[in-house]
Amino acid sequence: MPYKRGISMIIREASRANNRKNILTNEYSKTKPLALFTESIVSLLSSKDIHSAFVDLVSLMGQTFPLSAPALATRLSGNDSRVYTVLGHTMGGDQEARRVLKSNRYSYTSVLIGGHPPLLNKRIDLPILNTAHARITLTINKGIHDEIFKEWVNILTPAVNKIIDNDQLTHLAFRDGLTGLLNYRAFDEMIHAEIERSSRYDTIFSIIMIDIDFFKKVNDTHGHQAGDLVLKSVSQKLLELVRKSDLVFRYGGEEFIIMMPHTGIDKAANIADRIRACIEETGLAEDIRITISIGVSQYKDGLEPADLVKKADMGLYLAKKRGRNRVEIVKDIS
């Protein structure tokens, strides 16, 4: 009898423990999404810019629910279409971006979450915003945490709306009036964000600095209207020649900078030389032909933004000194 009573007591205790576990599990399942929702909203509203906000949002989603393979497609008034995704280009990321954005022209931002790249399964599109000024859609693998993501989207909508409103207000401040490119102020903001991201995720990026050769001669010979035409034409050509993930800035005067995420210095130099050759072959008018000189540098952990720019500027100086219409790289500051 004592033996049977002991067995019964163990069974009752196990049952109570299991009940307590179920209660705690249910409470955890309720509080975990709430904590995620709160973290994502705080992250959105405290981000330095809309680009960083969306990268961090997809990163949080992807790290928490990697099997869902989240991707965020954005089309904002006054900005290029862009996709932020944990999917690789060849793993369905490009195909999905074209489907959701209904366009072949967009910037592609890969969001690294660690581990094996998630697989693409049957997808579900969850609209976050769909207005005349902004269309933002979250896409996930169907059947994995669908309800959590649907609730997440509903909670995110007001916060996303707010940061887009702020972005629209600051858009003019970050664009060059003549060329429409991102300006020096935008570069200063984004270079800090890219360095912080590279340090956090141990990634690389490069910048190339471009200067139009003998630009003063164009102004002196053909007038400032012709000079403005050259600046606008070069700007448009740069946008056509860079990759979807690259950012083009008018750094000042006749100088431009291209920021190239996830790109080492050798690959950046190859792209830079392709740009140089294409600009050389492009005739703006019968009597106006131009060339460009380029300096290239790569971010190394611990570098300040000014040091990275200084390296690219040194490369540009070498290109000018060695005859112009060429590309020079600088890996270290002596």
**Residues belonging to the active site:** 254
Distance (Å, whole) CA 6 – CA 65: 44
Q: Which of 315, 302, 56 is nearest to 207 (CA)?
A: 315
Phi first, then psi: give them for residue 87, nearest 5 degrees: -85, 140
Coil vs helix vs strand at 6 = helix
Contact 58, 68 (CB under 8 A): no
Contact 324, 294 (CB under 8 A): no
The residue to which tokens 């579900």 are assigned: 124
Contact 278, 289 (CB under 8 A): no
111 to each of 83, 159, 201, 259, how far by Cα in Å? 10, 21, 10, 17
Contacts of residue 192, Cβ cutoff 8 Å, sequence gap at least 6: 48, 305
The string of DSSP letters for 271-330 reads HHHHHHHHHHH-EEETTEE--EEEEEEE--TT--HHHHHHHHHHHHHHHHHTTSS-EEE-
